[in-house]
Amino acid sequence: MTSQTIDLSLTPDEFQALNKPSDTLEQAPSIAPGVSQSLHPLGFTALSHLGKQLMVRVFTLLFYSLSALLVISGVFQFFTDVIAGERGFMSITVSVVNSLIIGLAMFELGAGISKEYTESDQEENVFTNIRRTITRFLGTVCIALVLESLIMIIKYSQLDLAGNLFYPVAILVGASVLLISLGGFLALTRGHTQ
């Protein structure tokens, strides 16, 4: 790939003409003498698509890396804490499960970004894509919230902190409201997907 320079002293009409992609290289007019002919057919639409794809790959890699880091950290923490024996086994397990749940959410976010933004926009209805993405992400969030609240219930029951049980119950109620809202969203947008 060669580097190209763009003349910044272009008039608005010349700039607008550069933004319009042409069909072939031979048909591309020479708008500005300093601008290479090979830039004209790309236009800014293609460049913005390349930028979008680059950002999709960056965020996908970021979320996958964070997910892998959390899983590796959780496993490492589990074995080091078990070998050290400073904390109880249940406390260690709860801590590791928390890390793994967050890692799962990060993985699901990366998978959603990768799948939704790398596919061609003309393949499916935009409403279908939105419904699928929201359903997948909120399903993962609901699972994470329910698991977190169950872990908190186990933790508080073992530590005889029954007065703090309203926190996990509030999380369960919030997850239930989120799941009911998701069902309402899916029911209300059913006709738009066809």
Give pLDDT tens digits for 168-189: 899 999 999 999 999 999 998 8
Per the prediction, the chain carries an average pLDDT of 75
Q: Does residue 21 lie in a domain region?
A: no
Q: Does residue 159 lie in a domain region?
A: yes
What does the alpha-carbon distance between residue 133 and residue 149 come to, in Å, rounded to a whole number?
24
- List, in sequence order, the alpha helices (H) in the chain: 12-19, 43-84, 89-118, 126-158, 166-188
Q: Does residue 131 lie in a domain region?
A: yes
Q: Does residue 177 lie in a domain region?
A: yes
What does the alpha-carbon distance between residue 92 and residue 96 come to, in Å, rounded to a whole number?
6
Residue 173: predicted pLDDT? 94
For the chain, report the end-to-end CA distance as a whole number of angstroms: 42
What does the alpha-carbon distance between residue 163 and residue 145 come to, in Å, rounded to a whole number?
20
Q: Which domain holds residue 144?
A: 59-193
pLDDT confidence band for 39 (50 / 70 / 90): very low
Q: Does residue 17 lie in a domain region?
A: no
130 pLDDT more than 70: yes
> Has this prediction a pTM greater than 0.95?
no
26 pLDDT more than 50: no
